[in-house]
Structure 1
Amino acid sequence: STAKDVFNPQNERLLEIVHVWKTGKKRKNSILCVAGECPGKKVKKADRGDQYKMTDRWPLKDLKLVDGKNVNQECLEFELQFDKVYKWTAVSADEKNAFIRCLWKLNRRYLSSSIAFVSIPSCMLEEVGNASAKAGDQAEHSAYQEMTPKETADMLKLMEEYEPIVNNSMAFAEKLSKELQVLDEANLQAIISSEKQVTLLMGSIDEALAEVAKVEETLQVYDELLGSVKQQMDHIQQGNSLLHQIDSNHEKLMSEILFLTSNLDLSKKHRQALSRGDLSSPSKVKACIAAAEALSSCMNVQIQPGYRKLQAIAEQLIMFETLKQNFENSFISHITSIFELQHFLPHSFPFQVYAWNLSRLYEREIKAFFELARMLLLGRTKELGYTEELYPHPLPQTISSLGGFSPLICGSSPQLVYADLHQVDIMLEQVLRELQPLCIAEQRFIEKFFMLSQDLHLPVSFCHPVHTSLAGPLPEQLCPNPLSVCDTYSRLEEQPTQLLSEIFSSLEPELRGFIDTCNKVQQFSCLQVLVTLNDYMFEMQGSSAATSSSFLNVGLSNILLLAKNNFNKCIVSQTRQSQWAKGGILPFVSRFEEFVNFSEDVFRWAQRRGELDKAHTKLVGSVFINSLASANLKVNTDMVMMENFHHIHCFLYQKKIQCLESKRREAKQRYREHLERYVTKYLGQPLEKLNHFFEGVKARVAQGVKEEEVSFQLAYSKQELRKVIEKYPGKEVKRALDTLYRKIHKYLSPEENLLPVVWRAMEQEFIRQYQEFENLIQRCYPGSGITMDFTVEDLLNYFISITQSSM
């Protein structure tokens, strides 16, 4: 009946069914059916009722897995996995097994075993395998046994149409034979008529073959030509490679020739200087030094051993050796002619002799130099002549020639005389630039003359007495015990920085004194000193002077620390607030503004401004006070705080300093808070009694008294309200507002121009309170007919007239 009711009307054939319900849910019987149709096989589900109804359809090709749930024991549950898993429970095990065997058989026949079968007894699948061939034959046979109603109707219609002919079968067969003969004749005629076309086609094919043969011959000729061209190109490529190799060899040869000619070439000027060996004057000594250095660089060039066999190179090396020997002989003769033969004296200390004599000379010259700088900085030009008379002589020529620097006092820096006496930065920078070449030249001379930079022990024969016109008798502390040989060698290993500290022992104290003088020029001179030292140290670090003078770096670092300490002291002094103020812009706010203006101008082109940002943060923290001593003020503290925070906000907004942006926003917020407090405090003065009355009304309402019952309170009755309102007619209110305006105008500082802002805030707050009073009258005294003697329009007119009358 299922096949008849559901599948036959749709031209489908029922193969297998199983009665099931969903596992784990309320039992509701359904039927799973396997049906076949022309497009393919599907699995369907039908609800059972009075009539069968199809609810779901699944194509068999979408089935992925069949799970029998248990292999060892008989189980009624099974699963079918399509896009999701469907769990069923069969009514009987036979129906379940027959249903699974049907699916397995269809899977093998039509889907090439693409469906997976798990947890199914192997015996059941073997039975299906043995019976698969027989089942297939039966399925094919059964496919022709039963006809659908439509096929039956078509067959009956065909038999009815040809019924007369079928009755006379002989006549029907003869008719078919005649029609077949006619068709054969038509085919023969068609073949005969197409013979000409076949002939033409064959001719065209022969012509095409002839053309193909010609093309093949042409291609053969081209191939032979290309073969000869290929050989020519191979020859050309081989020639090009040889040319490239020749060019490469020429380039290498040229580079080697240039290397030899540039490194083994000694100029004529240097050859003449070495040949003469004249050391009689400083200029000739410099020429000999340059020539000796050039000769040393030429002789130290690393060349290949094979080059020495070349005639030109051999002659050049022989010439170098000859010049070297001639100059050595000339130098020895010159030294022996100047210095007498000295015997071995182990008690001599060339370091101490040099440092002791030079320190006295530099002490006198450095003091004179800084005294001159102080006079120029402080503008005492009348004393310059006296200074020149006091220190008329430059450094001795012997020491100047050894150190390689010009005298400090005698015109080495004419910019000092013409510099602006009030510009601390120019003067300080000029002083530092005068000291730098002096220290660098002295350190280079010491390292070169005493060979301190090479970390070598000097030979004992070097330690002979040093005779100089400046030395005189040495002090006793420079002549140790002759037996202290170990002390001698330890002093020979002294570093240049320690030796320079003894030579320039007066430099750092004099520089500290000059820094103190610079700080006293004006209030914030320490800022300019710090910036100048910072920039100078930064410039030294980026140049060769930083590595040339370690002594100068150490000394300037100490001076920079002194400048930072002075700057911090200045900041601490600026953070001290005045204990007494009359109002308006407070003194420490003005000092903060002055400091910021001056410091930003000084640090405008500075390399580093980290110290300044820290100082700004520290100073602005002291300016942002929370309260003032009201005993020392004649005006309201909120007014003073409002004006000062407004001034700070406007100033920081103009400067746009990045590290103070948060403080600028805080100043704006504090200004608004104090403005609101000031307006709220002074607003009660024009209507003081009325304000107190309604404050009491609001207090009673807050305590739980109903609004309509407030009028029954004795102190807040309608009669009391009328008495209070009668005390404030319109003229009295206008007079009180005028008094308030004059008082605000008197105490507000004119430079901030906050009077319009404060008066406008007063007006808005006054109107708000008036509307609040009217609202309380309407709610707490309904129907009383009580109103104030003035309206909002009257108040606006009062404020406008007061403002115009004061202009």
Structure 2
Amino acid sequence: MAKSSADDVELRRACEVAVEGTKEKIMMSIRVAKSRGVWGKAGKLGRQMAKARVLALSTKAKVNRTKAFLRVLKYSNGGVLEPAKLYKLKHLSKVEVITNDPSGCTFMLGFDNLRNQTVAPPQWTMRNLDDRNRLLLCILNICKDLLGRLPKVVGIDVVEMALWAKENTPAVPVQQNVVNGPVAAATVSENDLKVTVEKDLVSQVEEEDVEALLGTYVMGIGEAEAFSERMKRELQALEAANVHAILETEPLVDQVLQGIEEATHCIEDMDEWLGIFNVKLRHMREDIESIETRNNKLEMQSVNNKALIEELDKLLERLRIPSEYAASLTSGSFDEAHMLQNVEACEWLTNSLRGLDVPNLDPSYANMRAVKEKKAELEKLKNTFVRRASEFLRNYFASLVDFMISDKSYFSQRGQLKRPDHADLRYKCRTYARLLQHLKSLDPNCLGPLRKAYCGSLNLLLRREAREFANELRASTKASRNPQVWLEGATGPGSANNSDTSTVSEAYGKMLTIFIPLLVDESSFFAHFMCFEVPALVPPGGSGNGNKAEATDDDNDDDLGIMDIDENDSKPGKNPADLAALNESLQDLLDGIQEDFYAVVDWAYKIDPLRCISMHGITERYLSGQKADAAGFVRLLLDDLESRISVQFGRFVEEACHQIERNERNVKQAGVLSYIPRFATLATRMEQYIQGQSRDLVDQAYTKFVSIMFVTLEKIAQTDPKYADIILLENYAAFQNSLYDLANVVPTLAKFYHQASEAYEQACTRFISMIIFYQFERLFMFARKIEDLMFTISPDEIPFQLGLSKMDLRKMLKASLSGVDKSIAAMYKKLQKNLTSEELLPSLWDKCKKEFLDKYESFAQLVGKVYPNESIPPVAEMRDLLASM
């Protein structure tokens, strides 16, 4: 017999690899053929639909139970087994052998959770009956051992399977159960399957006894009644023997009963003795409990007295005021040498007040007279110290600033720009930073007057520094003033002063470079120094502006180092109320300093209005460098500066526009208007001044300038309709020529360049049509009449209309084309006479010849339709004539 695939070690290993990672153990693996076909009349299986599969029985151990699975594996394109289907054996409800298969090797497994599916379950075909029996017995054994039940078995001769299992028991490596059941094609119930196949159906000894019994009672079918009678008689004899044996044991029973009675008397005596001892023990237990109760009360009293003494000692320690702290709080000095003692006294006072509050003090102590009196005494100490410290700090801030203001070396002087240096001021203030923290914890309301005093004092210093710096900055900057008359028609091309005024914008940039970081740092220092619970305005050592390259080493001095004064305090976060109070205080701190910035802007505008573009870009760069939560006043200052620069530049634009509009009032205008080339010069210089994001400011100015220029040009052209198109085309052409380079790089100017180009083409078309019509009026008027009539009548009727006969055509041709070369020459002369720009003449003459040729070609087509027999000078001849001129 061929070796079964169930014993194939390689197959089992391949199955274990396929289910690797699922923690399942392969119990059996065997090759099968899967099909859904039915057996035909010939009794042969539809092999064309069979597919090679591998069935694997596996188990998975859980904590309380073991799960069993039936896995279907298929071969991939590379010949590797991979999982295809997974069935849980707990849902197996029926095992049915297909009766249509003569070999009996085809069976079907029914699962109760698949009943609702419309597709028929697959049929599995084994190589032989041995493989079939081996697989089914393994499935039944697993169901019985792990699940405690068996599925219904249909179409299997279980007796035959039992005999097969007995013969093949040594070859089965695992435990298997065999079932006894009815004959083939009958349904086997769960109660009938109770014989295990692991061992024999009947043991050898039992088999010999049965054979002996059967040998003793060998008889035919007709002797069944006699055999039954004989068995009844033997049963009666056995029962009688049992009754006789029971009666023979009566003396022994009497002896046992006598022993039980004697034991009962002994137990009764023992029970009396135990009752006596129980009473004595109960009395003794009551005496012991009484003694223990008295001892426990005494011990509890002792413990309570000891705890009370300790608690009173702690309370007295809280209520005691150290003399050194009391002296520091009431009359101590605030000099730098004594600040450590003052800080220690503040910490003690804060902790003491906090310790007498209910959350930190037992509520039962809160109403004690001693606690209330001591708390009132501490409050008095707190108020005294806060008042003294606040008065000292107000005077201290004022004295620091007064000392710096009285020393002129702190400020810019004639011939020397002095960068404000507050390092010494901040160093002296840092000495009292910890004191301010404790003052805030003692009385937050005391910080308001202190903040106002600090802001008032420092505001005087900052405004003085800004005023002296701005004055000296303007005095030391050398720049010649440019006239504001940029686009006035009366000025010549070289009237605008093109001297270098870059020092003006550099001076403005220097003002921002020096003071914007200073103001941001002062705002940050003030916020930290005065204990505002807001995020840091600038990182430690940061300059606070967008130009980090211009930050100096002094910026590192702005780090207060006071954020970790009290490690127990929580890290400051965003507090909307504190943020509003900070902005209000910053207004007091920095208000008025903006006037010096405005003065620099106005001074720069007077020297060169175009420098507003550079200053606008510089301001935008600094503004973009400020964070959204930075010092509010600094952002407002930069916004105001940007607005003021925009307003000043807007004034310049408005004045320039008025200069353009003055050209309209001139009586006589001819040739290119003066503001056209002047605008190109202005735009070129404006592009040189653009910095940062000033593109929008300049584009808006371009839009306003060009709009006014075009409107003014149209108005001037309309004053003399005869020469309107000449003025338009010459000026639009000049606009394009002067802005050609800039229009290639500036989108806004490119838009106006295309607008001027369209207006130029329209003016050219009108002007050329006027010249052509002036020389050949009769010719094209005749053509227009024909065109008008063709809308109402047919072409063959037109020669019969008044003034349009063939004779009229011949007269018109003789009058118009007899000296056509002279007429064309006259057109050129008229064109040359009216133009003041010689460079436009060649292009306009080419347009004129093309337009005339197009009109003449249209006229020739009309004559061909209406007067087919009449001859006129051909179009080619006219084209050659125009080309030769």
- Give TM class, smaller chain: 0.3 to 0.5
Query: Could you tell me the TM-score, scaled by structure 2's length?
Result: 0.37
TM-score (norm 1): 0.41
